[in-house]
Amino acid sequence: MTKVHNFSAGPCILAPQVIKKASEAVINFNNLNLSLLEISHRSDDFVEVMDKARNLVKKVLNVPEGYEVIYLGGGASLGFTIAALNFLKVGGKAAYINTGTWASGAIKEAKKIGAVEVIASSEDKNFSYIPKGYTIPKDIDYLHYTSNNTIFGTQFKSIPKTDSLLICDMSSDIFSKPIDVSKFDLIYAGAQKNLGPAGSTLYIVKKELLGKTGNSIPSMLDLSNHIAKDSMYNTPPVFPVYVNMLTLEWLVELGGVKEMGRINAEKASTLYNEIDRNPLFKGVVEKEDRSEMNVTFVLNNEAHKDRFDQLWKKANINGIEGHRSVGGYRASIYNALPLESVKVLVEAMKELEKTA
């Protein structure tokens, strides 16, 4: 089989050994002569999977005592509402930083729950930078931000400092490097970037803060209910959770988030160095805010587009077309993408330079 270099923004690349083990479980899980897709989520075999998947998150991210880890369905877009319902008090106010499409979506949904103040935004320059120098109000219930922006290719390089609660949508860079979970009160992340296939969302929440908003929260959106039932309040996304578990096992074998951070930094620098060196290309975001997960760039002359498209397709590269709101190209270099694939893309860029 010809190797495909998969730069898809999500659902995205998974480690080959994870896919192999997952495919075997679809046929025969735990030698039960049953498919993972058809076993009961209440069975001992799957309860063990769920427990291990949750405990691996705690191990990999060094999650402190007092935090709970749960897996839910619905994607991070449902997390926009869940975060607000569980933390925005009746009569209170939340602060949001707007850095792109998903941050804008979180703001839109939170406004349906209560008062929201957008304290900083990079919309004025098509979200090509991370806002700085903003003032965080004292009278807020929480501050919400999106750590990495898949569409525009920006990433927070430091955690915002606030005396209020801190909530973060880490969908596209969780597990890509070490983080200090103790700085956050809620982290949520769709799985389909660095954790597994689409269909599950990870929540890491400081348990003692729940149940204090005064909101009448629908049962399925109340994090307390899911914590009380160990992520089994309703039938969980069985297959995605299993693949999440396999991915976390792979990450531990690799050396954990510290080693993953080193690898990701090397991949990102390899590609950004070529973008900056090659006169035919340029990046589209401020250099200090460049994402290590989603590298966005354009051609300086669109006359070269057909030729470059031929080159990267010939190299068996997939998924680098830019989002329609940005254009150009977007190379998503999530955890499971090897450095080898980045080098193949760089070679295609160099080849364009030679033949232009």
DSSP per-residue string spanning 53-76: HHHHHHHHHTPPTTEEEEEESSHH
Q: Which residues contact 121 (CB under 8 A, 6 or more apart)?
A: 97, 98, 99, 131
Cβ of 114: how many Cβ atoms within 10 Å? 19
State how far the Cα of 112 lies from the Cα of 165, in Å rounded to an integer: 20
State how far the Cα of 264 lies from the Cα of 86, in Å rounded to an integer: 33
pLDDT given at position 1: 58
Please, what's the largest Cα pairwise distance for the chain? Answer: 65
Q: Which residues contact 11 (CB under 8 A, 6 or more apart)?
A: 192, 197, 198
324 pLDDT tier (thresholds 50, 70, 90)? confident
* Residues 123, 148 contacting (CB under 8 angstroms): no
326 pLDDT tier (thresholds 50, 70, 90)? confident
pLDDT given at position 91: 96
Cβ of 183: how many Cβ atoms within 10 Å? 13
Span 25-40, mean pLDDT? 97
CA 71 → CA 55, 74, 225, 226, 332, distances in Å? 12, 10, 12, 9, 24
pLDDT given at position 288: 98
Residues catalogued as catalytic: 102, 169, 193
Instruction: Assign 3-state DSSP to the chain and report helix, strand, coil percentages, each to 5.
Output: 40, 20, 40
Strands (E), 108-226: 115-121, 142-146, 148-149, 154-155, 165-169, 186-190, 201-206
156 pLDDT tier (thresholds 50, 70, 90)? very high
**Domains along the sequence of the chain with CATH:** 16-254 (3.40.640.10), 256-355 (3.90.1150.10)
Residue ranges of alpha helices (H) inside 28-160 are 44-61, 75-87, 101-111
Q: What is the pLDDT of residues 15-25, one digit of tens each?
A: 999 999 999 99
* Residues 248, 210 contacting (CB under 8 angstroms): no
